[in-house]
Structure 1
Amino acid sequence: MDEGGNGYPIMKTVLITGANRGLGLEFAKQYQADGWKVIACCRNPDDAPELLESGISVSQLDLLDFEAIDRFADTLEGKPIDLLINNAGIHDRSKAEGFSGIERERWIDGFKVNAMAPVLLTQTLVHNLSASENPVAATIGSQAGCLTLYDSGGLYLYRTSKAAAHSAAVILSNDLKTLGIPHVCLRPGHTKTDMGGSDAPYEIDESVRMMRQVLAKVDMSQTGCFLDRSGALIPWNMEKDLNV
């Protein structure tokens, strides 16, 4: 925590989407442990037992409902947000689902949550971010969104929506730059989550710890960048799989 003019510590506030499990849950737990005020958001708070057991306040937020995003932002009017982490995501139900198994409605939902919602939520919370002395906004990205790595078929939902999310993140960064709010896209790596699977090489607590270290150092010089969990700059047209 930072200190105010009177010498007393100022509690910082972080808002995290998709906080009921995986990376979002770990972000919430680690920031709470460090004394931050955590606004943990998920579609169904009843599906967030670990958050509730940790004593973290859970806010209901359905990112598929854009009007609900506006209503949620209204409840935070006048409250500074120091860090916004757009983490929520939808992925293909199975890697086995390929060309013949495309779920049309779920694909649309993937674009709404993965690509559109981060922009719309950030837009509605821009005044909250501007009220912070050192605001930072971040969107969780993935190398699955890098077209230069596509050497196989399938995973249409996740790949295409993440490619769109990367594009939206760069455009959003340019808009936020004029407001003095840095925005970066973060790659957590292939981590042991429900999405990443138990065979993933990276432990979730370590990936989140490393990303938090990166976020703590983000400034305007990095806005619009795609950063690895180590803080290394990743080219948007990467030519090799970083999980190898």
Structure 2
Amino acid sequence: MSTVLITGSNRGLGLEFVRQYLDKGWKVLAACRDPQQASELIELSNTDNVELLKLDVTSEKDINALDRTIDHLILNAGVLGDDCAKLGEMTQSKWLEVLNINTVAPALLIQALKENVAASEHKTIVGISTRVASIGDNGSGNMYSYRTSKAALNQILVSAAKNLADQGVKTVAVHPGWVQTDM
């Protein structure tokens, strides 16, 4: 049975990924900061195919404790950084929080799980990115921390693709389109 690890699986896209992978018969490792508070995720976990994992993506201890063979690693956890989006409201601490969650955490997850993914059948790492990370598609400005954090994520995925190619690992940055979620 193929296995997927999905970060930020308690709401929005992550929760929908859990549903979709379950429908396809995959083993789902559903990771989020507080699984006990994720009521919709708990409802989906009434099957042997779902394992709820407590994972704070900003915790290296949590990241380094993961040790499973993973066919698809879905780097979904993220924040929009609404309070760090415009000139006049940015602070270093707000910006660093967005970068830590959207950029540093995915890089550390790839680093910690690269061998686990390489040992799998599918060998795929997916980063949930966005079109607004495109320099050429920035027609409105604003969204400073979100845009830059996702542009950096895209670079991480390109570098990982090059570094892990000899192990057969593929990476992809996905723009899911605009979806109405809590984010």
So what's the TM-score if we normalise by structure 2? 0.90
Percent of paired sites with the same residue? 40
Corresponding residue to 2:60 among 43, 59, 66 = 66
Spell out, residue by residue over 1:74-129, the C-alpha distance to the aligned partner (whole angstroms, 9 max, x if none): xx2xx32111111111112369x521111431210211111121121122112211
Q: Which residue is 2:112 aligned to? A: 124
So what's the TM-score if we normalise by structure 1? 0.69
- Whether the 8 Å CA contact 1:13–1:36 is kept in 2: the answer is yes
Q: Which residue is 2:73 aligned to? A: 84
Q: Which residue is 2:40 aligned to? A: 50
Q: Which residue is 1:107 aligned to? A: 95
Alignment of 1:209-220 (within 5 A): none
Q: How many residues align?
A: 179
Q: Which residue is 1:159 aligned to? A: 147
Corresponding residue to 1:148 among 133, 136, 144 = 136
Name the CA distance, whole Å, in 2 between partners of 1:121 and 1:108.
18
Alignment of 1:21-32 (within 5 A): 21-32=11-22
Q: What is the CA distance between 1:35 and its match in structure 2?
A: 1.5
Corresponding residue to 2:168 among 180, 192, 215 = 180
- Of structures 1 and 2, the one scoring higher in RCO (CA 8 A, sep 6+) is 2
Name the CA distance, whole Å, in 2 between partners of 1:59 and 1:103.
32
| Aligned amino acid, residue 23 of structure 1 | L
Considering only CA atoms, is the larger Rg found in Structure 1 or Structure 2?
1
Q: CA RMSD in A?
A: 1.7
Q: Which residue is 1:226 aligned to? A: none
Give 5+ residue unaligned stretches, structure 1: 1-10, 196-244
Name the CA distance, whole Å, in 1 between partners of 2:138 and 2:42.
40
Q: Which residue is 1:206 aligned to? A: none
Name the CA distance, whole Å, in 1 between partners of 2:24 and 2:121.
19
SS at match of 1:147: coil
- Whether the 8 Å CA contact 1:139–1:185 is kept in 2: the answer is yes
Name the CA distance, whole Å, in 2 between partners of 1:147 and 1:157.
13
Give 5+ residue unaligned stretches, structure 2: none
- Do structure 1's residue 41 and structure 2's residue 31 form an aligned pair? yes
SS at match of 2:122: coil
Name the CA distance, whole Å, in 2 between partners of 1:194 and 1:28.
17
Name the CA distance, whole Å, in 2 between partners of 1:163 and 1:150.
12
- Whether the 8 Å CA contact 1:17–1:85 is kept in 2: the answer is yes
